A and B are shown apart, each in its own frame.
Chain A
Amino acid sequence: MYSYNEFDKAFLAERNAQFRAQVERRIDGSLTEDEFKPLRLMNGLYLQLHAYMLRVAIPYGTLNSAQMRQLALLAEKWDKGYGHFTTRQNIQYNWPALRDVPDMLDALAEVGLHAIQTSGNTIRNVTADHFAGAVADEIADPRPVAELIRQWSTDHPEFQFLGRKFKIAVTGAEHDRAVTRAHDIGLRMLSRDGQRGFEVIVGGGLGRTPMIGKVINDFLPEADLLPYLEAILQTYNLLGRRDNKYKARIKITVHENGIEKIRELTEARFAEIRPEFKGTDQDVLAEIRGMFSNPAFRNVPEDAFHAAYDADPVFRSWADTNLSEHKAPGYAIVSISLKAHGKTPGDATAEQMRVMADLAAQYAHDELRISHEQNVILPHVHKSDLPAIHARLREAGLATANIGLISDIIACPGMDYCALATARSIPIAQEIAVRFDELKLEHDIGHLQIKISGCINACGHHHVAHIGILGLDRAGVENYQITLGGDATETAAIGERAGPGFSADEIVPAVERLVYAYLDERESPEETFLQTYRRLGAEPFKAALYPEAKANAA
C-alpha cells in the first residue's frame, strides 16, 4: 500500500490548517456563505437536508486496518456511531458539526486520509477495481496508476475549476468491476507485444444524460498516461460548455463534438506537451509500484476450510456466495456484505468497522477494500482462516450471504439525507431485501443487480442495473421509475425505461412481478436475469409490470 512521505504529510497538514482558518473565518463572520461554500466543498464538506455531511476519499477503495479504525473513531467521536460507504468508494459522515470538521480532518491526516476533491468541479477520488491485486485475470494491479493519478490531480492548479466534476476509474483486469465505461475517463490496462498500456475510454457517465464512454485511444503506452490525461482535460477545459450546468460534463462535449474531433484535439495537444514529461512521472510510478507488491502468501493446508464447508450449512452458503477466486493457491477474496436484509445499504457501525479492521490485521495482510457496490472486501485471505473469519463476522452482523444477489442492492442516500434527492432510496432497498428474504427466493433467483437512485443524478447507478429504480417527485408524491437491462461490466449498457412509474407502495410488488416473470421465462437456473432479458427483450417484463395494459389491449 502507498504510505505518505514527508511531502504528502506536510501538504495535508498545511491544507487542513488552511481549512481550519476558513471555518473560523466563516463562524466569526469574515466570510459569507457564498465565499465559504466553494472552500468547504473543496474539502468534502456538504450541507445536506438535516446536517453537514463530510465525504472522505478512500483512494481507489484501499484501506489498511489503522485507517479503518480511524474511520470508526470519527464515526463514534464526531458522528452518530456509523458511516456510509458510497458508490464512489468514499465514506460519508451524515452528522458532523461545523466546528468539529477541522478536527476530523486532522484525525484523518494521522492515517494518511483526507477529504480533498471529494466535491467541486475537480478531478474526484480515482476509483479502481476492488479486487485489484488479488485476481488472476489481471494485467497488473491498477492501484499504482490510480495513486499516480491521485498525486497528479490533487491540487493540480489547472484543474481546480473545470466546467464540471471529473471522474476517472482504472482497471487492470479483463472483467470490468470498476464501471470504466460510465466514467469521464475510464482506463483499462492492456498488454500488447510485451508492452503495457491502456485502452482509454472517454465521455461515459450516468446522471441526467447517461452515456457509455467511447474509446479515444485503443492502446496508449503506459509512459504516455499523464500527458495524455492532461491533453484530454485541457481539451475538455477549453471546449466544454459552461453555459449550462447540465451540459457541462465531458460526455456532452464528446457527444456534441464527436469522438473524432475530441481525439484530434487531444492528440494535437498531446504532441505539444509530451516532451515536457521527462520521465519523473515514471520514476514516481516505479516507486509507488514498489509499495504495492504482493503480500507474502502462505502455503499451508486448506483442511479447516473443507471441514467447515462440509459440516456447516450456514458457512457453506456464505462461502458459495461471498467468496471469489484468488490468484494465489489456497487463497480467496472475501466480500463482506454491508447489505443485511432490512439494513441501510453501505452503512457500517463503528464497532463493525473495528471488527473488519481486526480481521484484516489478523488474517488478511492488513488490507481492506471498499467496492462501488458498497461492500467491504478482504482481498487476500487464506482459506484455512475462513471459518474463524466467518464466525467473527456472524457475531458482528456482517455475515449476510448475498453478494451479487437481489438483496445486494446499491442505493444512494436519497431524500433521507441528500439535499438534491427527489425521493427516498433507502426504504425501497430495505423493503425489497426484506421481501425477497421472506420469500426465500434470492439464492434461486441468482445473480441480479438492483440499483436505486433518489434523483436523476444517478449516484445509485440505476442506469447500469439489471433492474434500475429511479425515485422522482411526481406532483408532490414519491414515484419510482424502472429501467431494465442495464449492465455495469465490460459489456456495459444503459437500461431501458420500462414505462410509467410506481408509487412507493407499488414499487416492491412491481419488482416482485418482474422477478417471477424472469423465473417463468428462464431456460434454466443457470440463465441469469440479464441473459433472459437479452434473449427475450423487454416485452415479457413489461407485460408483468403492467398487467392492466395487457388486459386492456386484449
Chain B
Amino acid sequence: MPRPFTPKVVTANDLLMGDVIYQTVDNVWSRSIAEAEVLRDEDTANARLAFGSAQAGEVVGAYLADVKVGENGPQPVHFREDFRMTGPSNYFHGKQADLQASS
C-alpha cells in the first residue's frame, strides 16, 4: 500500500522583499499560510510546485511544505515552517509584525 500522503502547500520567498509567501488556488501568492492552497495528492502537489517554480520573476526557491489542516486552514507541521510563518523569536519583526500592522 502506498504511504498516506501528507497534505502540502507550495511556499517560497518573494523575489523583491525576500519574505515568505504561499501559493493560493487563484494562482496568486499570499503572505498568510491560512490562505494557501492545500494539496492533497502527490501528482497535484508536483504540478502546482512546477507551476509556482516557473514564476521566476516573482518567487525564489519554491518548495512543498507539509501542513495539517485545522479550523483556520493549513498550519505548519515542522517547527521550521512555524518560524517562517511567524518571524524570529528575539524581536517582534517579520510576519508577526507585518500581519498585525495590516489587520
Contacts and interface: CB of A to CB of B under 8 A. Distances in A.
Interface stretch (B13-21, B22-30, B42-50): B13-21
A235 to B, nearest CB: 35
B93 interface: yes
Interface residues of A, number: 30
Closest 4 pairs between A and B when the two form their complex, measured CB to CB: A416-B88, A52-B18, A51-B18, A50-B94
22 contacts: A27-B57, A33-B61, A47-B60, A47-B61, A48-B18, A49-B84, A50-B18, A50-B20, A50-B84, A51-B13, A51-B17, A51-B18, A51-B94, A94-B93, A97-B16, A97-B18, A98-B16, A99-B16, A424-B83, A426-B88, A427-B90, A478-B79
A49 B83 contact: yes
Contacts of A29: 56-57
Contact of B95 (A50, A94, A99, A426): A50
Specify the main secondary structure of chain B where it touches its partner: loop
Interface of B: 13, 15-20, 56-57, 60-61, 77-80, 83-84, 87-91, 93-95
Nearest to B86: A50
A427 B83 CA distance: 13
B60 A33 contact: yes
Contacts of B83: 49, 415-416, 424
A32 interface: yes
Contacts of B13: 47, 51
Interface string A80-107: 1000000000000011111100000000
Given A27-B15, A430-B90, A476-B77, 7 more contacts: A29-B57, A50-B88, A51-B13, A80-B93, A95-B93, A415-B83, A473-B79
B90 A476 contact: no
Contacts, number: 73
A160 B5 CA distance: 44
Interface of A: 26-27, 29, 32-33, 47-52, 80, 94-99, 344, 415-417, 424, 426-427, 430, 473, 476-478
A51 B83 CA distance: 12
Given A32-B56, A49-B83, A416-B83, A427 B89 contact: yes
A424 B80 CA distance: 10
Contacts of B15: 26-27, 98
A262 B56 CA distance: 44
A427 B89 CA distance: 7
Contact of A417 (B19, B57, B88): B88
A426 B91 CA distance: 11
Given A50-B94, A80-B93, A95-B93, A27 B16 contact: yes
A61 B78 CA distance: 37
Contacts of B95: 50
A225 to B, nearest CB: 40
A85 to B, nearest CB: 15
Contacts of B18: 47-48, 50-52, 96-98
